[in-house]
């Protein structure tokens, strides 16, 4: 089974969360690719993957409802049914507020695209407000939560 973790990261925290989730997937026997969302578009970008996870920072100016533009653009480029037959999920990194709400909103969007959603994606507390500087890294408990999410996704995908 193959997984793609697609993300956007300005300061590296979301990339780190993606790597932590990948480690959990790999521990369950899944091959995992981690790719930036920039430049990915349409269903063809997801061909060959059984699992697709979407990661984004939470930006307050997007009112906690929308992922970062590169991730949002990729999701919008998928026609209805574009995730049919795939196990999908979402995760976010936030410095202030709204991380859990954004994960819930993204999970709803992914379900609308036909994906089998694994709920409860992590909302990792890291970084600095407005990403003005890198800010603090995620705490070990958040790293563990990301790895466990990867294992959970693998198990629910039928590994």
84-125 per-position pLDDT tens digit: 999 999 999 987 766 788 899 999 999 999 999 999 999 898
pLDDT tens per residue, range 56-95: 998 765 555 788 899 999 999 997 889 999 999 999 998 7
Averaged confidence pLDDT in the chain: 90
Token pair listed for 84 = 């049919």
Quote the pLDDT of residue 80. Answer: 85
Report the predicted TM-score, pTM, of the whole model to 2 decimal places: 0.92
Quote the pLDDT of residue 34. Answer: 98
The domains found in the chain, sorted by start residue, are 2-156 (3.40.50.360)
Quote the pLDDT of residue 42. Answer: 82
Quote the pLDDT of residue 44. Answer: 86
H-run or E-run covering 87: strand 87-94
pLDDT tens per residue, range 12-63: 999 999 999 999 999 999 999 999 999 898 878 899 999 999 999 987 655 5
CA distance 110 to 102: 12
Q: Give the confidence band of 130 by pLDDT, cuts at 50, 70, 90.
A: low
Which of 52, 41, 49 is closest to 74 using CA atoms?
41
Q: Is 155 in a helix, a strand, or coil? A: helix
């Amino acid at each position: 089974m193959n997984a793609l973790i697609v993300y956007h990261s300005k300061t590296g925290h979301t990339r780190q969360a993606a790597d932590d989730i990948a480690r959990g997937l790999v521990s369950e026997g899944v091959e995992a690719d981690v790719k930036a969302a920039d430049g990915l578009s349409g269903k063809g970008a997801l061909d060959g993957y059984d699992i697709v996870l979407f990661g984004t920072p939470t930006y307050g100016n997007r009112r906690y409802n929308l992922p970062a533009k590169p991730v949002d653009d990729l999701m919008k480029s998928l026609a209805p049914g574009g995730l049919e037959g795939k196990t999908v999920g979402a995760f976010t990194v936030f410095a202030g507020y709204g991380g859990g709400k954004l994960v819930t909103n993204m999970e709803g969007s992914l379900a609308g695209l036909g994906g089998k959603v694994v709920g409860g994606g992590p909302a990792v507390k890291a970084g600095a407000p407005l990403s003005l500087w890198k800010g603090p890294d995620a705490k070990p408990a958040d790293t563990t939560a990301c790895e466990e999410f990867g294992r959970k996704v693998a198990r629910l995908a039928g590994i």
